[in-house]
Structure 1
Amino acid sequence: MTVRFVEDTPPDPIRFAYWVPNVSGGLVISKIPQRTSWDADYNRRLAQIAEESGFDYALTQIRFTAGYGAEYQHESVAFSHALLAATSRLKVIAALLPGPWHPTLAAKQIATISQLSGGRIAVNIVSGWFSGEFRAIGEPWLDHDERYRRSEEFIRSLRGIWTQDNFTFRGNFYRYTDYTLKPKPADPLPEIFQGGSSRAARDMAARVSDWYFTNGNTPENIRAQVDDIRAKAAENGNRPRIGVNAFVIARDTEEEAQAVLQEIIENADPDAVKAFGHEVKNAGKASPEGEGNWARSSFNDLVQYNDGFKTNLIGTPDQIAERILALKDAGADLALLAFLHFQEEVAYFGTHIIPRVRALEAAREKRAEAA
């Protein structure tokens, strides 16, 4: 079996993505008022604003059960298609969860959406961290590393179905014999994203993924992850690109931005934050090395689902632009962003921060050419 790997070097400008609020409660476990909605009309308009503002990707979430303030959830693949229909350039990344999804169904769904959208659909393979959700929907809960072994077979199956006729595969979780899918996805082939910080997650990214999402962190810690993944990926002929989670609070002064952060934390739902922390830390402890994405996360960190406060995109537009360049220097190819009030803050980010980032990139390139 042949596996397609990404060999092209990533484009120079850092890219931007946003978390789609297709579940209720926003992107913080806080009772602070948020001018963000999970409904379809709000999200269609948000996708259009993001596209107009210079964002490259939108990432839909997958949830099956209520919890941590997310009482309502739209299904990710169908919702992704709705956002694609409302836009013309934006790529949408649909979250897929092996177990509830079988690669055959996922491959066919995504191939069809790819054809309908001109190749603007991508997928995020979520290996799973919430055991209660799997049990609630009657899905077996596998051991930590088994979940990643299944996800890797899922990715290899998707790629084989999308690129080969008479696809044959023999794995521990999925098996195919002379299977042909037509039509296959439009060009370009859907990009495959994944997340996770465990050894199993990073090794899977090194072998088979196009993109690797890491939780929010400092540039120094991100650099360590990037170096680790890319050293292993080079052995496999792969070069996964890196996306970093961040929660953005952009205000006229740093004091105003920090005040908003404190208001979010002061209004946190303590029971929900602790319950979320209990689940995610247990998931990490189940890995052989006993650590996962949230192993070193404090209560304040956990108020934002993906450690987004740690990345520190909190301050003035100039400060945030400089910090984004520091993330890029650490090896990040994409910033995956969340906001308190999505529509207006995505627009503000596009007006006041992306141009500053591009100006800094251009100035750096000019200096390099002159050297």
Structure 2
Amino acid sequence: MSRENIKFAYWVPNVSGGLVVSKIEQRTSWDIDYNRKLAQIAEKAGFDYALSQIRFTAGYGAEYQHESVAISHALLAATEKLRVIAAILPGPWHPAVLAKQIATIDHLTGGRVAVNIVSGWFRGEFHGIGEPWLEHDERYRRSQEFIEVIKGIWTQDNFSYRGDFYRFHDYTLKPKPLQQPHPEIFQGGSSRAARDMAARVSDWYFTNGNSVDGIKAQVDDIRAKAAANGHEVKIGVNAFIIARDTEEEARAVLQEIIDKADSEAVNAFGDAVKQAGKASPEGEGNWAKSTFEDLVQYNDGFKTNLIGTPRQIAERIVALKAVGVDLVLGGFLHFQEEVAYFGEKVLPLVRELEAKAQTASGEREEATEALA
């Protein structure tokens, strides 16, 4: 188990409809005033990161969206310590534009911005804005080039690059970002191509929600591949968190979310994402095996099972840490009040359990050394 405390991030609700495709009441808003206050609550509660979403077209209950880089900057300006991760789609973004945007924001906010490179799953979105739609593994090849390019721009003068998707000739960006060697680079995905890309070039890998065993298999695969490449990558897992004073209350909320699911929107979303998941050569990409109930939460967040009392959730988080998870990315039903509740009730228990596990690990190491 890592000696570092597990980190926490939350999904920025900069897209309308919240984080579940359901007609249940959600005291959550996509507007900037709500999101500024939420960022301040999350910072006070002990969250390390916020992840803004990127959408270019309306649909699946998400009719309105604020652009990810702009809202990330606004949230950084409203906080002092919180790090904000802007989701980026190669294709709509050119790496030179993105590199310059992020370098500027890094200077304006004291080095707290990061990026999440999203290779793309929604064919209709790309068609809608006139962007070519690449085959599954080609999207990841383009994303890898995108990451290699922004790293090069951020760390080198007179940068040149000759790839299949991007070409640069003696290009120098100044000022470079404050963060050294560069702002953190996150990516997502569950397919072989996604894991392989993370093992080569990304700082962080986000995976959809899953069981502890399912997550462990992905972590072990990525870490082994990264080690073979002389690379290190940290792991974040998606979870929809329902923390209540009793398990019965939490389970009742989950059931109400599913019972009130917007069936038409869930099925339409499911058709699109399952095509994306099955498009990977091995048919194992994100959502390839998700059920209707899983898809009510965009990124299989119910599967991670952070649903119950504060102690139950804290114990499950520490179990995730034990298999190699470095960060939990949380979605909530009523963001402001539930992020505050998580910070007050759950996070202190996580830190307590981490400290106990660390003490026990140290005692075992001492005992082993004494026997040697």
AA in 2 matched with 1:329: A
AA in 2 matched with 1:23: V
Q: Call closer, same or farther: CA 1:122–1:367 in 2, change over 3 Å.
A: same
Q: Does 1:232 align with 2:225?
A: yes
* Residue from 16, 21, 44 that aligns with 1:29: 21
Matched residues in 2 for 1:93 and 1:71: separation? 22
* Residue from 285, 291, 301 that aligns with 1:292: 285
Q: Does 1:280 align with 2:252?
A: no
Please say if residues 236 and 325 of structure 2, whose CA atoms lie closer than 8 Å, have aligned partners that are also in contact.
Answer: yes
Q: Does 1:250 align with 2:250?
A: no
Q: Does 1:184 align with 2:203?
A: no
Please say if residues 51 and 89 of structure 1, whose CA atoms lie closer than 8 Å, have aligned partners that are also in contact.
Answer: yes
Matched residues in 2 for 1:279 and 1:291: separation? 15
* Residue from 341, 361, 367 that aligns with 1:368: 361
Matched residues in 2 for 1:264 and 1:330: separation? 29
Q: Does 1:153 align with 2:145?
A: yes
Q: How many equivalent residue pairs?
A: 363
> Could you state the TM-score of these two structures normalised by the residue count of structure 1?
0.97
Q: Does the residue aligned with 1:115 lie in a helix, a strand or coil?
A: helix
Equivalence for 1:49: 41
Please say if residues 203 and 229 of structure 1, whose CA atoms lie closer than 8 Å, have aligned partners that are also in contact.
Answer: yes
Equivalence for 2:104: 112
Equivalence for 2:367: none
Please say if residues 223 and 233 of structure 2, whose CA atoms lie closer than 8 Å, have aligned partners that are also in contact.
Answer: yes
Matched residues in 2 for 1:11 and 1:323: separation? 17
Equivalence for 2:114: 122
1:176-222 per-position Cα deviation (integer Å, ceiling 9, x unaligned): 11100000000242100000011111100000000000000011110
**Quick one: percent identity of the two aligned structures?**
75
Q: Does 1:172 align with 2:130?
A: no
Please say if residues 276 and 286 of structure 2, whose CA atoms lie closer than 8 Å, have aligned partners that are also in contact.
Answer: no
Q: Does 1:85 align with 2:77?
A: yes
Equivalence for 1:352: 345
* Residue from 119, 127, 130 that aligns with 1:135: 127
Unaligned runs of 5+ in 2: 365-372
Matched residues in 2 for 1:346 and 1:156: separation? 35
Matched residues in 1 for 2:2 and 2:12: separation? 24
Aligned residues: CA RMSD: 1.0
Equivalence for 1:340: 333
AA in 2 matched with 1:175: R
Q: Does the residue aligned with 1:95 lie in a helix, a strand or coil?
A: strand
Please say if residues 10 and 241 of structure 1, whose CA atoms lie closer than 8 Å, have aligned partners that are also in contact.
Answer: no
Equivalence for 2:300: 307
Matched residues in 1 for 2:160 and 2:230: separation? 22
> Could you state the TM-score of these two structures normalised by the residue count of structure 2?
0.96
Per-residue deviation, 1:369: 2.4
Per-residue deviation, 1:10: 6.9
Matched residues in 2 for 1:253 and 1:290: separation? 39
Equivalence for 2:62: 70
Matched residues in 2 for 1:285 and 1:366: separation? 44
Matched residues in 2 for 1:368 and 1:64: separation? 47
Matched residues in 1 for 2:157 and 2:43: separation? 35
Matched residues in 1 for 2:280 and 2:359: separation? 46
Per-residue deviation, 1:257: 0.4
Matched residues in 1 for 2:3 and 2:166: separation? 34
Matched residues in 1 for 2:195 and 2:174: separation? 32
Q: Does the residue aligned with 2:150 lie in a helix, a strand or coil?
A: helix
Please say if residues 107 and 162 of structure 1, whose CA atoms lie closer than 8 Å, have aligned partners that are also in contact.
Answer: yes
Q: Does the residue aligned with 1:94 lie in a helix, a strand or coil?
A: strand
Please say if residues 200 and 231 of structure 2, whose CA atoms lie closer than 8 Å, have aligned partners that are also in contact.
Answer: yes
Q: Does the residue aligned with 1:233 lie in a helix, a strand or coil?
A: helix
Q: Does the residue aligned with 2:268 lie in a helix, a strand or coil?
A: helix
1:98-119 per-position Cα deviation (integer Å, ceiling 9, x unaligned): 0000000000000000011111
Q: Call closer, same or farther: CA 1:62–1:11 in 2, change over 3 Å.
A: farther
Q: Does the residue aligned with 2:330 lie in a helix, a strand or coil?
A: strand
Matched residues in 2 for 1:352 and 1:237: separation? 39
